[in-house]
Chains A and B, each alone.
Chain A
């Protein structure tokens, strides 16, 4: 730890904090195991780890918002000279908001949908002060301009749904800095946001810290983000801090294998290895392993820049004649057709053109609302279209019907973003997979059975999980199963909508590797829709950049990333952390 840099007292000191979860009926488990960290005045400290590492629980312990089943069994939390654990609830309320504030993760759910934004931002003043209504209002205007919410007078009376995701997060930030607390805990404040907006929020946090001298405890699973923003980092895993130090030192000379693996498991913009490093943990030694070292098995095939990908690229060029999808002048307008209401039109796509050949991988990038998901849904024949044409193997999509439709469905398979709703909760995984398998003609029971089992193996899932229900699997497992379901139809093309954005970095690496491996085996094309450029750069050889329903740039991935021509693409590339 780099205490030499900091003179004087830490603002927040957490010492040997242990938290235990007491479950009724189940076994008790240790959530945090003697973690210690401090935050000095004016500093931005990062707490990094994957889901289940205990980073959010640590922040909740500081704010005294732990779930009832969890109890602090050991350790201390002190703020300046006050021992926070010794305060009663009444005394603690004075701290919350005034001395320690929180920027929560999910902005939309953190704001009350039926209250005006202005009122909500002014709430800290109402709780911790006695300003008049007018004074509060002018203070809120001040805060709004501080967090770059333009047009504060008009924005004051808006409701949360009238704000975009980034604006909502700004409003929450405004509320957190309202009383100029010395410490703000930011719990994954940018996870739900687009990259460019994420970059702006990060800038905002940095400026606030500099100008107002506020310390931040920044919690994130995103290494890139932390490396851009934080002065010091603590890496957490399984409720322990396994490594800590200056951001630069950690990123240059990380010693713990987990930290290293975490850094390498994230795809990069340029020069990706053929396979990403993965971190695999066996539940058996999750907690017993003292340093967490044993739980890391670096993928043996990782890091080797390989021939196969180049070969497959070559193969692609041979196949170029065989076009799978050809989209010409595709436009899509949404309208709400109410019985009595006036028709409202919204243009989602304007004149989109592209081609996809067999064996080719196309990445569609853009921010939310740019129309990328609409394209995917049209290609899946889930959303109808009227303007322009989409050809699948030479047939116009609107004219595919009946028997041909069955064929089309088998050949074009989706993988959706949300791993939680991708399987029917009422059926076991096995039954859902069998359904997919049975749709191909002439298959008897035993063949279906063996094919499902084989595919389950191929996507790296344990046979025992076959009989479990969707909610019993983790996000990564579900996404693997979803890929298995899609591949059981032996499709020619896989359309994926942000398949890894809901997953942890290390799980993302596993899934991305899996997609690559399976592609080598089954030779299907991919269209992947994402806001994550590095993922595209890892998987795809061609890229399509979208903004406001239009294609702004398209071409070879490498060329576009090295020399983007459109301003928006440049902006997008610059916003990618690291």
Chain B
């Protein structure tokens, strides 16, 4: 029997329950949140954390804690979807560029450079102007912005993998191109990409807030962590919790997703098996 090293599962056994917990809370927000996130209570405007309102209330008297729970829905969705869009597009472009090389590589990568030069906001504005404002379009815009980064990383790793003897051995076995990409290259590329993906996730959540600030992402009063942080900015000296609480929520979520990504990479790497 193969000996399994439980040590390398440590990170995942710690972070996986927390990841599940975060997703559960977000998806069952209606049942978990103590208050209606849209309910205005003018009597308790800008009130600090108390037994009733754990994380205080905002400038309209809404419960910050409940809004964070509801906001998690938007933020997680944006983060995960944008990363998926970026990852899929980036891996596709990167592997093709490295695998075929030459002109394919030049054309794809120069195109990526162009996308890279595009400010996220400008791209979002163009998308919204054509398809209307929605959270979906915001996700798409953020995802597209991520593609060049993932593409470059994928291309670089693929190129190192390509120089290794096992890849040439596979070519010499007569393995068709798609099998070489899926069987030989991709498994070796995914490890480093996973780490990059967790970083991109946090960036996506922040970008969404910038977009909502411009009215291009989630629209108030719908809460997202990004627009909560933004709104809180105006009250930072009187009621710092309005920004701080969603900021901390973002921090912990990103932290846990990062741990999860690291742990996943450890599990996927057979070299860390003993």
Contact = CB atoms under 8 A, between A and B. Distances in A.
Asked if A pairs with B, the answer is yes
A416 B173 CA distance: 13
A212 interface: no
Interface in B42-69: none
A469 B271 CA distance: 8
Given A421-B165, A469-B270, A469-B273, A413 B188 contact: no
Contacts of A412: 172
A426 B106 contact: no
Interface stretch (A138-146, A402-410, A448-456, A539-547): A402-410
Which secondary structure dominates chain B's binding surface?
A: helix
A406 B172 CA distance: 9
Interface in A384-439: 405-406, 408-410, 412-414, 416-418, 421-428, 432, 435-436, 439
The 9 closest A-B pairs by CB, nearest first: A409-B174, A416-B165, A426-B187, A421-B164, A469-B270, A422-B165, A421-B165, A424-B166, A406-B174
Given A422-B165, A469-B273, A471-B271, A414 B187 contact: no
B167 to A, nearest CB: 8
A439 B169 contact: no
B201 to A, nearest CB: 24
A425 B166 CA distance: 9
10 contacts: A339-B106, A380-B168, A380-B172, A414-B172, A416-B165, A421-B166, A422-B166, A426-B187, A432-B166, A469-B273
B173 A435 contact: yes
B274 to A, nearest CB: 7
Contact of A409 (B172, B183, B187, B274): B172
Given A426-B268, A472-B274, 8 more contacts: A424-B166, A424-B187, A425-B188, A426-B270, A428-B270, A435-B173, A435-B183, A482-B169
A349 interface: no
B2 interface: yes
A465 to B, nearest CB: 12
Contacts of B171: 382
B184 interface: yes
Interface in B229-274: 268, 270-271, 273-274
B174 to A, nearest CB: 3
B175 interface: yes
Contacts of B274: 472
Given A339-B106, A425-B188, A425-B271, A410 B174 contact: yes
A538 B254 CA distance: 61
Contact of A418 (B106, B165, B172): B165
A55 interface: no
Contacts of A439: 173-175
A111 B184 CA distance: 34
A174 interface: no
Nearest to B167: A424
Interface string A357-386: 000000000000000000000001010000
Nearest to B102: A337
A337 B174 CA distance: 28
Contacts of A339: 106
Given A339-B106, A418-B165, A469-B273, A424 B172 contact: no
A181 B165 CA distance: 42
A489 B274 CA distance: 32
Nearest to B174: A409
B168 A414 contact: yes
Contacts of A414: 168-169, 172
B168 A382 contact: yes
Contact of B188 (A380, A382, A426, A467): A426
Contacts of A485: 169, 173
Interface in A241-283: none
A564 B188 CA distance: 48
A469 B273 CA distance: 9
Find the residue from B2, B170, B172, B174 having the highest chain A CB count within 10 A.
B172
Nearest to B179: A435
Contacts of A426: 187-188, 268, 270
A405 B172 contact: no
Contacts of B168: 380, 382, 414, 416
B4 to A, nearest CB: 13
Contact of B173 (A409, A418, A422, A472): A409
Interface in B150-201: 164-166, 168-175, 183-184, 187-188
Contacts of B172: 380, 382, 409, 412-414
Nearest to B187: A426
Contacts of B164: 421
A416 B271 contact: no
A405 B174 contact: yes
Given A413-B172, A435-B173, A423 B166 contact: yes
Contacts of A421: 164-166
A426 B270 CA distance: 6
A408 B174 CA distance: 8
A394 B226 CA distance: 69
B270 A471 contact: yes
B268 to A, nearest CB: 8
Contacts of A413: 172-173
Nearest to A432: B166
A211 B128 CA distance: 81
B38 to A, nearest CB: 49
Contacts of B170: 424, 435
B178 to A, nearest CB: 14
A468 to B, nearest CB: 8
A147 B59 CA distance: 80
Contacts of A382: 168, 171-172
A424 B171 CA distance: 13
A415 B231 CA distance: 64
Interface string A528-561: 0000000000000000000000000000000000
Contacts of A406: 174
A424 B166 CA distance: 6
A339 B106 CA distance: 8
Given A421-B166, A425-B271, A469-B273, A489 B188 contact: no
A339 B103 CA distance: 9
Interface in A7-52: none
B271 A467 contact: no
Nearest to B274: A472
Given A416-B169, A418-B165, A482-B169, A424 B184 contact: yes
Contacts of A337: 102
Nearest to A485: B169
Interface string A311-350: 0000000000000000000000000010100000000000
Contacts of A435: 170, 173, 175, 183
A576 to B, nearest CB: 27
